Every structure is written in C-alpha cells, then in structure tokens.
Structure 1
Amino acid sequence: MGCLFSQFKKTSPLLTPLCISNIMLVINKYHVRCLMQSKKINTTDRILQSALELMQKKGFNLVTIKEIADASNVSEMTVFRHFETKKGVLESAIKKNTVIPSFKKTFEENIVWNLDQDLMLIAKLYLDLMESNKSICLIAVQERFTMPELVRLISDNTEQLKIFITEYFKEMQAKKKMVELDSYSQASTFLSMLFGFFISAALWETEFINLSKDQFITNSIHTFCNGIKK
C-alpha cells in the first residue's frame, strides 16, 4: 500500500497536503473494510466447521449453540447473529458445500466425449467432493427421521447432478457413442454405484468394500462402460 502511494505521489507532484491526507484516509478506510470482511468470512467458516464436527460426533439434537460457540472461540451471540438458529447453521453448511458448481464447471470445460475418460473424471470428482462433505452426509444419515428436510436439501444437489449426467448420456447417444438407453435411469444407476462405495467407506471403512478408491473407480467404470458403450 505504501509503495502504491509513493508511486502515485511521484507521478502527481502537484498534490496538496490536504489532497494527500484525503487520499490516505480513503485508502485506510478501504483497508479496514477489507480486514473486517476477511475476519467475518473466517468467523463464519470457523463456526460451520466446528458445528459440523460436533454434530457428526454427538448428533444434531445433542449439540448446543454454546458448544458450537466454545468450539469456534466466539460468543453465543455471534453464532446467533450469523445463523439465527442451530438448524440455520446446518443448512448454511449444506448450501456452502454444494457440489454443483464444481460439476457444472467440469461438464462445461473438461468433457472430451470419450465415455471411459469422461466417466472416470466424473467418478473421481464425485468421490473427492463427497469425501470433503462426509460430515454433512453422516449427519443426514443420523437425522434422516428427525430432519427429513435435511435429506431433501442434499437430494436436491443429487438431482441436479443427475440432470448433468443425463444430458451427457443423451449427447453421447446422439453422437452414436453409447447404446440407446433411458439416460435418466443410467445416470441414477451410475451415481448409485458411486454413492454405495462412498457411504460404505464412510460408515465401515474397508469392512464392506475392501478396495481403494482408485481400484473401485477403475474397475467399476470399466464394467459400466462395457455395458453401455456402442
């Protein structure tokens, strides 16, 4: 910031002391505003992370706002000011960690219209993102009967992803690179296969599927593509 002002001063020798003072005041206000915004973002993220860790460990109903505040090193009032309710914390975490933007970008920029390569890419991205959102998924499993709206929030993301894959399969059929099948059903089957691996690993680690993520992806994509490739 100082270097920027020095350079500006060199190129503007006619600046009066009052002008210089006003410029510095504007710069300082902007700097303070940026710091405050950064602090706010960091506080929000810290609350969300602490809340998810506590809810995964104890269950949604047993976690209190006080515990979330203590774990986040903020006051209870700060938690309420950011999210209003405990349920609001969880809903904000789900919305913040939506996987849709990453998939939208992948479908727009990285698809090469090769069935094996594309589905391998999609499978890796899906499992990586699900792993990063494991806390949310496990909380949804725990609270599926007490908070059905939470499951609906997550299923909305899944449905959007299914639509991306459905449209991809339709285009692959139009390009004569895939056999004529119901695209939506195939997209559902594909995602169910990947979700099955994720949830079994999240709940039971290697007790149910004793394969690494890469092994599972390679073998399952090979089998899946052999069934639908033209």
Structure 2
Amino acid sequence: MQNENSLSFKREYDNITKEEVRNMSKQPSKYDLILNAFITLLIEVGYQSATINKIAEKANVNPSTIFRKFKDKEGLLSAVIDRHLNDLAAIFDDALVVTGDIETDLINMSRTYQEFQEKHQEVVLIGLQESFRMPKVSHAVEEIPVRFRKILLQYFTEMRAQNKIKKSVDVEAAVMNVIWLNFGYFLTAIRYDNPELITDPEDFYEKQIRFFAKSLRP
C-alpha cells in the first residue's frame, strides 16, 4: 500500500490530462472546487489531516470523484502545483508588455506580480509554512521570484544599453531591490491588519516603485 505521507508527486493520476490542468484556472469546475478545498484544508489542518473525505465534504463532491480524477492526495498536490506553474508561465512569460518607460514598466511589472501573488496567496503561504514537509510546493513558489528576476535582469540590462537608466546602475542590485520591495509588500499586506503598516496598492506603486524607478533615470 502506498504511504499517504509520500511526496513523490508522480504524474500518473487517473483520467486527467495536462490540458485539463491548464484549464482549471480558467473555467470554474469541479476540479477547481476540489483543488481549492484541498488548499484551504492544507492551511487549516495540514497535509496529514486533509483527508479525502474532508476535501470532498468541503468541495461538496463525492469522494469517489476525487479518487477517479486525482487518484490520491499526491495527485491532488501535483495538480495544485501544475495549476500554479501554468498560471505563472502564462503571466510572466506571455502577458508582460513593456513600453520602454522605466516608471511605467516597473509599475506594470509590480502590479502583475502582486496580482499573481494575491490570486495564489494560499499556495504561497503553504510553500512558506511547509517548506520542509512539502518541498515540491516550496520549489514551485520559489519559481515566482526566480522568473521575476529573469525578466527584470533582461529588462534592466536592455534599458542600460539604451541609456534609459544610469550607466552606473548595478543591475543585479536593482533587480533584487524590485523583488524585495514587492515581496515585502505582499507579505505585509496578507499578514498584518495594522493600518500603520498597510498601504493601498496604488500608493505602493506610486510612492515606492515609481520613486525607485525615478532614481534609476540618467
């Protein structure tokens, strides 16, 4: 009998194709209900206690539906990761448009980052909280800043070559500053309710990101 605690993440779950996984985030369906229920229970009670019966009850489906479509909890977790990574690729690899204006572009990139993080905040929290017990989820979450860094690195390098930012700008440092600003804002926004610590997203873009972008101009 397969150990329920195993996190081998085989992609051999029954009757579900990669195309179906890609479409999960686009069309509300039983798949979404099941995955969202699973994610909620991971946060509330943890992987061990998130039984198939509890997932089915929260998703308002029959347990047999979960077994038929995902096989087991490993199949569910694999589907959650696939959905996360497919959304990430769609946004950061395909949807970003640059204008060549440093302020506009950094604000747009930051807005895209924040919207993605907010949409997937439960998965991000699981990746942060369960990094040792769920390394695959943690690694999937790490892909967010990794891909963001790759985009920013290419962008800043091109902008410096076009003399749109100072030649003296340390590109690596500038990239990490944008990532830290965005990640710090995201964590603060989801963790704290104190109005002294929280600022409106548009204020963040205007007062933090635009301010930083202006400092890079020649």
Question: TM-score, normalized by length of structure 1?
Answer: 0.74
| AA in 2 matched with 1:45 | D
Q: Could you say which residue in structure 1 is the equivalent of 2:189?
A: 201
State the identity %: 24
SS at match of 1:99: helix
> How many corresponding residue pairs?
191
| Residues 71-86 of structure 1: pairs in structure 2 closer than 5 A | 71-86=58-73
Q: Could you say which residue in structure 2 is the equivalent of 1:96?
A: 83
SS at match of 1:79: helix
Q: Could you say which residue in structure 1 is the equivalent of 2:50?
A: 63
SS at match of 1:138: helix
Whether 1:162 aligns to 2:149 is yes
Question: For the structure 1 residues 150 and 206, does the alpha-carbon distance in structure 2 shift closer, same or farther, using more than 3 Å as the test?
Answer: same
**Distance in structure 1 (CA, Å) of the matches to 2:133 and 2:145:** 21
| AA in 1 matched with 2:177 | T
| AA in 2 matched with 1:185 | A
How far is the alpha carbon of 1:216 from its aligned partner?
1.3
Q: Could you say which residue in structure 2 is the equivalent of 1:129?
A: 116
Whether 1:188 aligns to 2:181 is no
**Distance in structure 1 (CA, Å) of the matches to 2:113 and 2:159:** 20
How far is the alpha carbon of 1:41 from its aligned partner?
7.4
Q: Could you say which residue in structure 2 is the equivalent of 1:179?
A: 166
**Distance in structure 2 (CA, Å) of the matches to 1:229 and 1:58:** 49
Q: Which has the higher contact order (CA 8 A, sep 6+)?
A: 2
Q: Which runs of 5+ in 2 are unaligned?
A: 1-22
Residues 196-227 of structure 1, C-alpha deviations (whole Å, 9 max, x = no match): 11111111234662311111121111221133
SS at match of 1:116: helix
Q: Could you say which residue in structure 1 is the equivalent of 2:204?
A: 216
Question: For the structure 1 residues 133 and 183, does the alpha-carbon distance in structure 2 shift closer, same or farther, using more than 3 Å as the test?
Answer: same
Is contact 2:126–2:137 with CA below 8 Å preserved after alignment? no
**Distance in structure 2 (CA, Å) of the matches to 1:196 and 1:128:** 14
Larger helix proportion, structure 1 or 2? 1
| AA in 2 matched with 1:104 | D
Residues 85-110 of structure 1, C-alpha deviations (whole Å, 9 max, x = no match): 32432332232133231122333xx3
**Distance in structure 2 (CA, Å) of the matches to 1:207 and 1:84:** 45
Question: For the structure 1 residues 70 and 196, does the alpha-carbon distance in structure 2 shift closer, same or farther, using more than 3 Å as the test?
Answer: same
| AA in 1 matched with 2:94 | K
Question: For the structure 1 residues 214 and 71, does the alpha-carbon distance in structure 2 shift closer, same or farther, using more than 3 Å as the test?
Answer: same
Residues 159-178 of structure 1, C-alpha deviations (whole Å, 9 max, x = no match): 12211111111111111001
**Distance in structure 2 (CA, Å) of the matches to 1:208 and 1:140:** 27
Is contact 1:65–1:79 with CA below 8 Å preserved after alignment? yes
**Distance in structure 1 (CA, Å) of the matches to 2:180 and 2:210:** 16
| AA in 1 matched with 2:89 | I
Q: Could you say which residue in structure 1 is the equivalent of 2:32?
A: 45
Q: Which runs of 4+ in 1 moved over 3 A?
A: 205-208
